[in-house]
């Protein structure tokens, strides 16, 4: 997407001319997007295009950037007071009668914090979405608090943020930054963004970059030291704030926003696993969150993304999560945990009724939307149809949980080729189909995501009683590791979950090879009783799954016996081999 087709106007204010672009119907609520450093308004082109259907989208080049003129002299021309004048002039020009919804990234957010906390803008701002740019006043208080009452933790936080701010010190040196940006750094910047920040090429950065970056150094010089030394004591937000925090930001620590509720009483928090330049790398997610927040603050009904509750709501609210085997046990508990966090859930199971039930309950628990799909994961064609339907109707999946699986017990020689085929078709091929189809959509979208594959402790604990099942799960574990390596550069995490004994229906449906129907029933009952006595709830596995996504963990043994077996497999494999020879208790 580009800003082509945008309507352009010029706004004169305080001796500069600002280049303002507008998209969408001007009678819709106005959303003003403010860019950061070293950027121009084009940093927003992907997000702006996604918002233009529903909103009047306004972008402007900050003074001295893009096609806006620069103040003369530069020194003293970039103070937050002057930037506030510019914002008010733009807001008056594009939306004279209605307050606007502000969105700022990086320095665009730093200045927007000023706009939303000074008295003269009261009534002109309906909401503010902040990303990767704190208020200098709040930052100043944050530092002071840690200096005046230092604890080891607070000193650690100070040092951590201090290390991330190296470029701020550099930008305060005279002339050097300008020389670097107009010289080699300016030339290399697009490549650096692509390589380090994974920013895809497009209409950004624009050719004005060296000039923008040279002028923009004054943003730092005119404001940072003065504000950090003497932060305003009354920097309270007078509009609702949505804070979007990318967890992999190389320049800002998450801890900076601790206690922000004190300054912004109406605060909604969102986190996402991404680096600093989210307007370029995560436009779908940002557009969805901005749409929800603006709509809510316009008094409209919010349907597309969820607010969610619980400890993972900030991370999964509004995300699209697909869980296979969601009709029972671990899959159902996982669908519910994501629903509680406000995710939109697709519950897939070969058993139609139980999938529908999971979707119904997921909606009650908190999913803004939930759908049931009846599919056998081992059927490649059916999975292809499912992938096409999901992409077409619900969107690209953000989190995929390949969980459907079946149990199979019996010695190697009792296990028939049909038994092998069945267990590998579901437990391994089901995972392969899921990864191939939904993983490809994630990779092609290029905006990250996460794949969770339910393996088992049996993946690293050999057993003479479970050769086929364990082989299928060991394959899932290895597949997950390989795929994790392959997708690591694309912001897509892959986790293998390895539970021990969990109290679910799997025991009553597991096949016992080499025995008659009556004996099979008896063994199913006995193992169900054993798992019942062990009584490890699937909800705990679900919790481990959400945590694995948040922390991007590679292999997650769940239950003490799984953790023990995992440790032994690494440090004492002989002990595991001895356990493998024991008669199963069934
Ligand atoms: P469960 O039997 O309670 O649930 C499995 C669900 O998957 C069922 O709803 C079932 O209908 C569905 N399913 C089975 N085959 C399917 C197919 N071909 N296509 C679509 N859906 C299918 O079992 P659970 O314990 O919740 O198992 C979930 C996963 O966890 C499985 O992969 C299992 O191997 C794994 N696991 C379970 C345990 C445990 O102790 N329960 C331990 C380790 C790993």
Instruction: Report d(CA 377, CA 350) in Å as an integer.
Output: 8
**Is 236 labeled as catalytic in the residue annotation?**
no
In sequence order, the 6+-apart residues with CB closer than 8 A to the CB of 356 are: 372
Q: What is the signed CA dihedral for 343, 443, 279, 130, rounded to 10 degrees? A: 30
Determine whether 482 is exposed, middle or buried from the number of CB atoms within 10 Å of its CB (0-12, 13-18, 19+).
Answer: exposed
> Relative to the CA of 499, which ligand 1 atom is closest?
43
Q: Give CATH for domain 7-297.
A: 3.40.50.1820
For residue 34, what are its two tokens? 């403010």
Quick: pLDDT tens for 517-552: 999 999 999 999 999 999 999 999 999 999 999 999
Are 377 and 346 contacting, i.e. CB atoms less than 8 angstroms apart? no
Q: What is the pLDDT of residues 490-523, one digit of tens each?
A: 999 999 999 999 999 999 999 999 999 999 999 9
Ligand 1: residue whose CA is nearest its atom 32: 405
- The strand ranges marked E within 227-327 are 241-246, 267-272, 320-324
Q: Report the pLDDT value the prediction gives residue 344, as an integer from 0 to 100.
A: 97
Ligand 1 atom with least separation from CA of 377: 19
pLDDT at 172: 83
Higher pLDDT, 6 or 174: 6
* 499 alpha carbon – ligand 1 mean position (Å): 12
First and final C-alpha spacing in the chain: 61
pLDDT tens digit sequence for 228-240: 999 999 999 999 9
Q: Taking 90 as the threshold, does the pLDDT of residue 3 lie above it?
A: no
pLDDT in tens, 348-383: 999 999 999 999 999 999 999 999 999 999 999 999
> For 454-503, how does the pLDDT look when each residue is reduced to its tens digit (9 = 90+)?
999 999 999 999 999 999 999 999 999 999 999 998 999 999 999 999 99
pLDDT at residue 304 tops 50: no
Whether the Cβ atoms of residue 37 and residue 213 lie closer than 8 Å to each other: yes
Closest residue by Cα to atom 33, ligand 1, is: 405
Mutate to test the pocket of ligand 1, among 405, 479, 539 (most ligand atoms within 8 A of CB): 405
Instruction: Give the pLDDT score at 302.
Output: 53
Q: Which CATH class is domain 317-578?
A: alpha beta
Q: Tens digits of per-residue pLDDT, 393-443?
A: 999 999 999 999 999 999 999 999 999 999 999 999 999 999 999 999 999
> 210 C-alpha to center of ligand 1: Å?
56
DSSP class of residue 437 equals I
Contact 311, 389 (CB under 8 A): no
Residue nearest atom 31 of ligand 1, based on CA coordinates: 405
pLDDT at 306 over 60: no
CA 361 to centroid of ligand 1, rounded, Å: 19
Angle at 412 between CA 479 and CA 477, to 5 degrees: 15
d(CA 403, CA 60): 47
Provide DSSP, 214-254: HHHHHHHHHHHHHHHHS--TT---SS-EEEEEETT-SS--G
Every domain range in the chain assigned CATH 3.40.50.720: 317-578
* Ligand 1 atom having least distance to the Cα of 536: 40
User: Beta strand 241-246 with 125-131: parallel, antiparallel or unpaired?
Assistant: parallel
Active-site residue (options: 37, 60, 220, 469): 469
**Shortest-distance atom of ligand 1 to CA 328:** 9
CA of 329 to the centre of ligand 1 (A): 7
The pLDDT mean for the chain works out to 94
Predicted confidence (pLDDT) per residue in 219-278, tens digit: 999 999 999 999 999 999 999 999 999 999 988 888 899 999 999 999 999 999 999 999
Given a cut of 90, whether residue 173 has pLDDT beyond it is no
Where residue 307 falls among pLDDT bands split at 50, 70, 90? Answer: low
Looking at residues 83-111, what average pLDDT do you find?
Answer: 98
pLDDT for 202 equals: 82
pLDDT in tens, 125-163: 999 999 999 999 999 999 998 889 889 988 888 888 888
Residue 303 has pLDDT above 50, yes or no: no
What is the position in ligand 1's atom list of the atom closest to the CA of 376?
Answer: 19
The pLDDT of residue 168: 79
Q: What is the pLDDT of residues 11-63, one digit of tens each?
A: 999 999 999 999 999 999 999 999 999 999 999 999 999 999 999 999 999 99
Q: For ligand 1, which residues put their CB under 6 angstroms from it?
A: 324-325, 327-331, 349-351, 354, 376-378, 403-406, 426, 430, 454, 456, 499, 501-502, 504-506, 509, 538
- Cα of 406 from ligand 1 centre, angstroms: 5
Closest residue by CA, ligand 1 atom 41: 502
For atom 24 of ligand 1, the residue with the nearest CA is: 329
Instruction: Please list the alpha-helical segments (H only) found in 378-516.
Output: 380-393, 417-423, 430-434, 440-445, 467-487, 506-509
Q: How far is the CA of 59 from the centre of ligand 1 (A)?
A: 50
Share of the chain above pLDDT 70, in %: 98
- Alpha-carbon span 451 to 432, nearest angstrom: 11
Å from CA of 584 to ligand 1 middle: 21
For CATH 3.40.50.1820, the residue range(s) in the chain are 7-297
| Structure confidence at residue 586 (pLDDT) | 55
Please, are residues 386 and 373 in contact by the beta-carbon 8 Å criterion? yes
């Amino acid at each position: 997407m580009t800003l082509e087709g945008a309507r352009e106007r010029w706004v004169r204010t305080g001796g500069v001319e600002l280049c303002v672009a507008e998209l969408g119907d001007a009678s819709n609520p106005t959303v003003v997007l403010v860019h950061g450093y070293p950027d121009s308004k084009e940093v927003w082109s992907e997000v702006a295009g996604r918002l233009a259907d529903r909103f009047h989208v306004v972008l402007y080049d900050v003074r001295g950037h893009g096609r806006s003129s620069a103040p003369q002299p530069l020194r003293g021309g970039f103070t937050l007071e002057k930037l506030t004048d510019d914002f008010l002039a733009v807001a008056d020009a594009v939306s004279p009668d209605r307050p606007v919804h502000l969105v700022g990234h990086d320095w665009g957010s730093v200045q927007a914090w000023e706009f939303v906390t000074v008295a003269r803008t009261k009534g002109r701002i309906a909401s503010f979405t902040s990303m990767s740019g704190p208020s200098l006043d709040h930052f100043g208080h944050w530092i002071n608090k840690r200096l005046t009452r230092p604890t080891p933790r607070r000193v650690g936080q100070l040092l951590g943020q201090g290390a991330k701010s190296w470029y701020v010190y550099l930008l305060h040196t005279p002339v050097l930054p300008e020389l670097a940006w107009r010289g080699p750094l300016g030339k290399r910047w697009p490549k650096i963004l692509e390589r380090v920040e994974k920013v895809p090429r497009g209409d950004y950065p624009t050719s004005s970059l060296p000039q923008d970056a040279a002028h923009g150094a004054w943003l730092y010089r005119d404001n940072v030291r003065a504000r950090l030394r003497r932060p305003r004591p009354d920097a309270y937000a007078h509009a609702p704030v949505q804070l979007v925090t990318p967890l992999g930001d190389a320049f800002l620590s998450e801890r900076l926003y601790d206690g922000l509720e004190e300054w912004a009483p109406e605060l909604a928090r969102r986190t996402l696993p991404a680096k600093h330049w989210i307007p370029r790398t995560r436009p779908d997610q940002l557009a969805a969150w901005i749409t929800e927040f603006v709509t809510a603050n316009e008094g409209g009904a919010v349907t597309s993304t969820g607010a969610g509750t619980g400890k993972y709501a900030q991370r999964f609210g509004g995300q699209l999560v697909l869980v296979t085997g969601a009709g029972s046990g671990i899959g159902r508990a996982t669908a519910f945990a994501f629903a509680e966090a406000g995710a939109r859930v697709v519950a897939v199971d070969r058993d139609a009724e139980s999938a529908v039930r999971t979707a119904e309950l997921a909606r009650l628990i908190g999913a803004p939307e939930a759908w049931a799909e009846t599919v056998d994961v081992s059927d490649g064609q059916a999975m292809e149809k499912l992938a096409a339907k999901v992409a077409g109707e619900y969107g690209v999946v953000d989190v995929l949980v390949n969980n459907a699986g079946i149990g199979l017990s019996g010695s190697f020689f009792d296990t028939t080729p049909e038994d092998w085929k069945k267990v590998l078709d579901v437990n391994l091929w089901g995972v392969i189909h899921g990864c191939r189809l939904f993983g490809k959509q994630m990779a092609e979208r290029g905006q990250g995501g996460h794949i969770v594959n339910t393996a088992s402790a049996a993946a690293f604990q050999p057993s003479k009683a479970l050769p086929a099942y364990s082989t299928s799960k060991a394959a899932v574990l290895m597949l997950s590791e390989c795929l994790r390596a392959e997708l690591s550069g694309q912001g897509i995490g892959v986790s293998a979950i390895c539970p021990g004994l969990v109290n679910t229906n799997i025991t009553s449906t597991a096949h016992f090879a080499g025995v008659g129907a009556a004996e099979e029933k008896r063994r199913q009952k006995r193992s169900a009783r054993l798992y019942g006595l062990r009584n490890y709830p699937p909800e705990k596995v679900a919790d481990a799954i959400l945590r694995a996504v948040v922390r991007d963990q590679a292999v997650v043994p769940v239950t003490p016996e799984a953790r023990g077996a995992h440790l032994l497999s690494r440090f004492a494999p002989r002990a595991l081999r001895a356990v493998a020879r024991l008669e199963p208790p069934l």
